[in-house]
Amino acid sequence: MNASNHNSPAILTTTVGSYPVPDWLNALPSEQAVLDATRVIFDTQRQAGIDLPTDGELYRFDLNHPDTNGMIEYFTGSMGGCDARIGRADTEAFRAKKEMGFRVKPAAVVREALSGGSLNLIEDCARAASVAGGTFKFTVTSPYMLARTLLDTHYGDFAALTLAIADVLAAQVKALPCAVLQVDEANIPGNPSDAPLAAEAINRILDAADVKTAVHFCFGNYGGQTIQSGKWSALIAFLNSLHADHLVLELAHRPAADLDALAEIDKRIGLGVGVVDIKVNHVETADQIASSIERAAAKVGGDRIKYVHPDCGFWMLKRSVADRKIAALAKGRDLFLGRSG
């Protein structure tokens, strides 16, 4: 599948991943309800003018893990070698690591060599495809981010653990029925010293995919709060080492100076520019969106910008807010293209 065709706008609109879960799905969860909700979320985005929607990441919907939208537990709870039964000693050992300050216990304990286990990305992607109504983007969590949430009692080496996760995911992403595969990483911006390891792990997944690929980076979003500190300028070498078709970057909630770093990203890599702030309830106007795109284009050139999108997923916002934000995104993109044309 292709994410675009010759009739597509010069800059495409997309969402990053998650979307607010419909209240009725939480109230009456079932397999059919997940499928129906996925159809609603796809249709909502397409009707608003989103060119490359996601399934809202409902493929990993889990009523028991609403705080992370399944971003972690969907993967760690299914991989072979991971034990989700967490005891007191496990919790105390994890807290002693102090690597994930906002987690009070590990997502799972790695007690033996990792394997695919019951993880089945192709079936979950196919379920989304059955109601997508067109091309769409499918997301997976970065191995580096997953590794930081685990207590490892088997490998005894963080790099070995991270690359083992990467190999499991690389085997899972082959032949996915989507237009774009996106890897999500929200921890490396605050830990640039681990960039070479994170890049190697992410590239193993990107190289295994047979569709267009993207990597999403943000500085975290938990209750509307930024989790990681840092600047894009410290990550240029890392970003340039990735084998992605394009990047999906948080910029709307960032200092204006962060735009300067974009000019240093290798021209072989397309840019996705965050122009919708998902950490606030304020709904941007179309003119504000167009102006944000104009500022980015002035730094890097309009031909470098392939996508505009929210900074991150919408799962913490109300549907009424998210729906209006994506409508403004599409209208603002159209306004910018009208001005620049």
What pLDDT does residue 137 have?
98
Look at residue 18 and give its three-state secondary structure.
strand
What pLDDT does residue 3 have?
60
Residue 227 pLDDT level (bands cut at 50, 70, 90): very low
Answer yes or no: is 76 within a domain. no
What pLDDT does residue 66 have?
63
Answer yes or no: is 41 within a domain. yes
Answer yes or no: is 237 within a domain. yes
Parallel, antiparallel, or unpaired for β 246-249 and 180-185?
unpaired
Compute the distance between CA of residue 117 and CA of residue 168 in angstroms, rounded to an integer: 9
> Do 54 and 17 form a contact (C-beta atoms < 8 A)?
yes
Residue 294: pLDDT over 90: yes
For the residues 55-77, what does the mean pLDDT come to?
A: 86
Closest-CA residue to 138 (of 184, 170, 178, 78): 178
Give the structural domain span for 137. 12-65+120-146+157-340
DSSP state letter for 20: P
When the pLDDT of each residue in the chain is averaged and rounded to a whole number, the result is 90
Percentage of the chain modeled with pLDDT above 70: 91
For the residues 55-62, what does the mean pLDDT come to?
A: 94
What pLDDT does residue 192 have?
83
> What CATH number has the domain bearing residue 283?
3.20.20.210
Ranges 1-5, 132-136, 200-204, 213-217: which has the least confidence: 1-5
Residue 101: pLDDT over 80: no
Closest-CA residue to 141 (of 233, 69, 237): 69
3-state secondary structure 221-250: CECCECCCCCCHHHHHHHHHCCCCCEEEEC
Compute the distance between CA of residue 92 and CA of residue 288 in angstroms, rounded to an integer: 47
What pLDDT does residue 2 have?
47
What pLDDT does residue 128 have?
98
> Do 145 and 161 form a contact (C-beta atoms < 8 A)?
no
Answer yes or no: is 92 within a domain. no
What pLDDT does residue 67 have?
57
The residue written with tokens 């109601």 in the block is: 131
What pLDDT does residue 104 have?
83
What amino acid is encoded at 39 in this protein?
Answer: R
Residue 296: pLDDT over 60: yes
> Do 133 and 46 form a contact (C-beta atoms < 8 A)?
yes
Look at residue 54 and give its three-state secondary structure.
strand
Residue 190: pLDDT over 80: no
Rg of the chain over all Cα atoms, to the nearest angstrom: 19
Residue 228 pLDDT level (bands cut at 50, 70, 90): very low
Residue 315: pLDDT over 70: yes
Residue 118: pLDDT over 70: yes
Answer yes or no: is 286 within a domain. yes
Residue 139 pLDDT level (bands cut at 50, 70, 90): very high
Answer yes or no: is 324 within a domain. yes
Dihedral, CA of residue 326, residue 59, residue 181 and residue 249, to nearest 10: 40
Listed in order, strand segments (DSSP E) in the chain are 12-13, 80-83, 108-115, 137-141, 150-152, 180-185, 212-217, 246-249, 270-276, 305-310
What pLDDT does residue 100 have?
58
Ranges 81-85, 179-183, 185-189, 329-333: which has the least confidence: 185-189
Answer yes or no: is 94 within a domain. no
Residues 9-32 have pLDDT tens digits of 999 999 999 999 999 999 999 999
Number of domains in the chain: 1
Compute the distance between CA of residue 92 and CA of residue 83 in angstroms, rounded to an integer: 16
Residue 218 pLDDT level (bands cut at 50, 70, 90): confident
C-alpha to C-alpha distances, 25 to 17, 41, 59, 62, 65, nearest whole angstrom: 18, 12, 13, 10, 14
123 token code pair:
């079936």
Q: Which strand ranges, in their side-by-side order, compose the sheet holding 137-141?
A: 12-13, 305-310, 270-276, 246-249, 212-217, 180-185, 137-141
Residue 223: pLDDT over 80: no
Answer yes or no: is 257 within a domain. yes
Residue 191 pLDDT level (bands cut at 50, 70, 90): confident
Other CB atoms within 10 Å distance of the CB of residue 207: 11
> Do 176 and 133 form a contact (C-beta atoms < 8 A)?
no
pTM of the model: 0.92
> Do 113 and 42 form a contact (C-beta atoms < 8 A)?
no
Parallel, antiparallel, or unpaired for β 270-276 and 305-310?
parallel
